[in-house]
Structure 1
């Protein structure tokens, strides 16, 4: 009886070990396949995101070689923050930023919140007073003394909902 019980236990333990081995080998294979699928999806997603970023930055001084060639005397990576800072400095005015093209409507003044330097000549900016908001297209010039002047080309304020 002891021998048969030992034999049964041996057979059960071998079967248990065999089933466990088969389960984990299939589990590892499944995980590898799933990982490969995720890698492919991730590469596709990264490619799509890169494409979207390139499309979004098509009108940007950082990626426009013709505009950079026009500004050959300047380092574009240093120039963009200077332009942005020069325009944002007008937000400190008591009446608001004069380059929004808007007079005060209520108690709050209009200030520029976001700026995108499109090329060697144009800027698009978003402005608001907390209630109303709009966009403005500006032209900028770099003077001989390296100061920057701005000119409003077009401005638009969205109606209040």
Structure 2
């Protein structure tokens, strides 16, 4: 009786070891496949987002070499670095938000009690700026021309402005 009990226990131990080995090996394979699929999805998503970012930055001074070359006259007299120009132009435009009647470069007069101020600015090239503005209730966009004058001051001109309906 003792021998048969040991035989049954040995067979049971071998079977449980085999089943455990098979389960764990299948689990490792399953996890590896899942990891590979997830990694592939993430790479595809990253590639897609990267391509969308490149498309979104197509119209920007940072990526437009022709617009950048505008500030380098070639004769070496005065070269304006566009990396330093972008924050200066943005700051100058946003400084007009302190005007009590609102930013004059929104192209809109004050409607109601709130003044129009510029929220976001995007410098498209060496001549154009697009900006988003609002008074807290009404939103709009404006297309501006900007000029870097010989005395290195910056002037703006409203080209087109629009308001969205509530």
Please tell me the TM-score bracket, short chain as reference: over 0.9
| 1:7-22 to 2 correspondences below 5 Å | 7-22=7-22
Q: Deviations over 1:17-44 (max 9, x none)?
A: 1111111111111111111111221121
1:45 alignment partner, SS class: helix
Q: Deviations over 1:112-136 (max 9, x none)?
A: 0011000000000000001111000
Cross-structure match for 1:124? 130
1:61 alignment partner, SS class: coil
TM-score (norm 2): 0.93
Once residues 12 and 147 of structure 1 are traced to their aligned partners in structure 2, the CA distance between those partners, rounded to angstroms, is: 89
| 1:8-157 to 2 correspondences below 5 Å | 8-72=8-72, 73-157=79-163
- Size of the alignment, in residue pairs? 160
2:157 alignment partner, SS class: strand
**Structure 2 unaligned spans of 5+:** 73-78
Once residues 83 and 128 of structure 1 are traced to their aligned partners in structure 2, the CA distance between those partners, rounded to angstroms, is: 20
Once residues 63 and 141 of structure 1 are traced to their aligned partners in structure 2, the CA distance between those partners, rounded to angstroms, is: 19
TM-score (norm 1): 0.95
**Structure 1 unaligned spans of 5+:** none
Cross-structure match for 2:76? none
Once residues 20 and 76 of structure 1 are traced to their aligned partners in structure 2, the CA distance between those partners, rounded to angstroms, is: 65
Deviation of 1:75 after TM superposition, in Å, equals: 2.2
Bigger CA drift: 20-29 or 36-45? 36-45
Once residues 136 and 143 of structure 1 are traced to their aligned partners in structure 2, the CA distance between those partners, rounded to angstroms, is: 22
Q: Deviations over 1:37-73 (max 9, x none)?
A: 1122112111111111111111111110100111222
Across the aligned residues of Structure 1 and Structure 2, the Cα RMSD in angstroms comes to: 1.0
Once residues 51 and 22 of structure 1 are traced to their aligned partners in structure 2, the CA distance between those partners, rounded to angstroms, is: 44
